[in-house]
Amino acid sequence: MSSQLGSTKRATIKRIPELDLLRFFAAAAVMLYHYTYQPVLNGVVVDNAFRPLPAATRFGYLGVTLFFMISGFVILWSSQERSAGEFGISRIARLFPSFWVCVLITALVVNAVGGPEPISPRTIALNMTMVPGRLGAPFVDGVYWTLFVELKFYVLIYFILLSGTMARVETWVAVWLAASAVSMFGIAPNWFASLALHPFGPYFISGCLFYLLRARGPSVFRVGALLVACALGAAYAVKQQPEFMHEIITPLTGFIVAASVVVFHALFAAIALIPGILPSSRWWYWLGGLTYPLYLLHNRIGKIISEKVSASHSAGTTLAVELAVALAAAAIIAAAVERRACGAFHKALLQTAVRLRVVRPPRI
């Protein structure tokens, strides 16, 4: 096992086009799952409105699995050669501006429509923390649950940086993988399982290992740990099916779910071992930029659109309007917030942290 990450081979490009494309694919999969799998049209749950699409889109919830793997790869990559303070500031600046805007937009639309449960100012304010459930408030949109899982992962990376042990990150990954396995078998206390990010830990671990595979090259530990993480992740994904698929679960659907997790790992293996699969293009960057606002906005607003439009239009028209609104809103937020406000917010936070001596001045 290599002892110093800085002495090993690094990825030399600033972005990986394949990851941008995978991010968009994951967001689109989740969106189509919400829009076409047992949608509520004109007040009624309809199973066959978009056949044959649901045969595939019912597995779209696995886009969250893909998101967690991408996060493991990208966040470990972005933490290299940063202090704990710099890492924390970069994550706050990256996540919160778009999130705040999307919370406000969603709450405004819900309250303007006058639904049965308007969103109170208190709920909006507590959602701004990303952890409203810990503060006694419901999520403004149900998809926000994944953000708390992400935050827990960021905290783990933060403490690795704070402890000065990032050079030995593979040891941490090995401990985390063991903790995930123990948690998966139900023999760990709740606090321990939560610390290990159970049951989603294996997905983040796989992403971290694929980054290390790309940065350092193959090793017995990396390959072996990836096989274990893949097996744990596939097993949990199969177990998770009843939470997201409402028809009778069959061996075939279980096989498809497990195979999907294996395919995700195969795609990451290709990205880690074969640089430059996709040519550089601003289109990949543009699609990747849509991902976060698209994920945050599509669900609850889409359901409101479906309720209103389907009362007087066909299912196909309803879906087209949902997709058009979601993509247009995501593009506007990506341009105005992701590419402008996030950078300005990061600069302001960093300058404040330097003045307060929380972080050192950037090296020139």
Query: Residue 156: its pLDDT value, please?
Result: 97
**The one-letter amino acid at 206:** S
Answer yes or no: is 2 within a domain: no
Query: Which segment of 36-45, 207-216, 267-276, 352-361 scores lowest on mean pLDDT?
Result: 352-361
Query: What pLDDT, on a 0 to 100 scale, did the predictor assign at position 363?
Result: 61
Q: How far apart are CA 208 and CA 48, in angstroms?
A: 40
**Would you say the C-alpha torsion 266, 284, 341, 122 has a positive or negative sign?**
negative
Residue 1 lies in a domain: no
**Mean pLDDT of all residues belonging to the chain:** 92
> In Å, what is the CA distance from 185 to each residue of 179, 197, 235, 244?
10, 14, 11, 22
- pLDDT reported for residue 362: 64
The DSSP line for 31-81 is HHHHHHSS-EETTEE-SSTTTTTHHHHTTGGGHHHHHHHHHHHHHHHHTTT
Q: pTM for the complete prediction?
A: 0.93
The reply to whether 301 falls in a domain is yes
Confidence of residue 3 (pLDDT cuts 50, 70, 90): very low
- Quick one: average pLDDT of 242-265? 93
- The confidence score (pLDDT) of residue 188 equals 87
* pLDDT higher than 80, residue 361: no
**Range(s) of the domain holding residue 99:** 10-355
Adjacent-strand bridge partners of 44:
41
234 and 218 Cβ atoms separated by less than 8 Å:
no
- State the pLDDT at residue 190: 92
**Radius of gyration (Cα) for the chain, nearest Å?**
21
Percent of the chain with pLDDT over 70: 95
Alpha helices, H only, the chain: 17-36, 54-57, 63-78, 84-113, 121-127, 145-162, 169-184, 190-195, 201-216, 220-244, 251-273, 282-309, 315-333, 342-355
255-281 pLDDT, tens digit each: 999 999 999 999 999 999 998 899 888
Question: Is pLDDT at 58 greater than 70 in this prediction?
Answer: yes
Q: Tell me the average pLDDT across 144-158.
A: 97
For residue 27, tell me if it sits in a domain: yes
Domain assignment present for 346: yes
Residue 186: pLDDT band by 50, 70, 90 thresholds? confident
Q: Quote the number of domains for the chain.
A: 1
Higher pLDDT, 40 or 18: 18
Classify residue 361: in a domain, yes or no.
Answer: no
pLDDT in tens, 313-325: 999 999 999 999 9
Q: Is residue 5 part of a domain?
A: no
Is there a domain that residue 183 lies in?
yes
Contact 180, 230 (CB under 8 A): no
Q: pLDDT for 91-149, tens place per residue?
A: 999 999 999 999 999 999 999 986 678 999 999 999 999 999 999 999 999 999 999 99
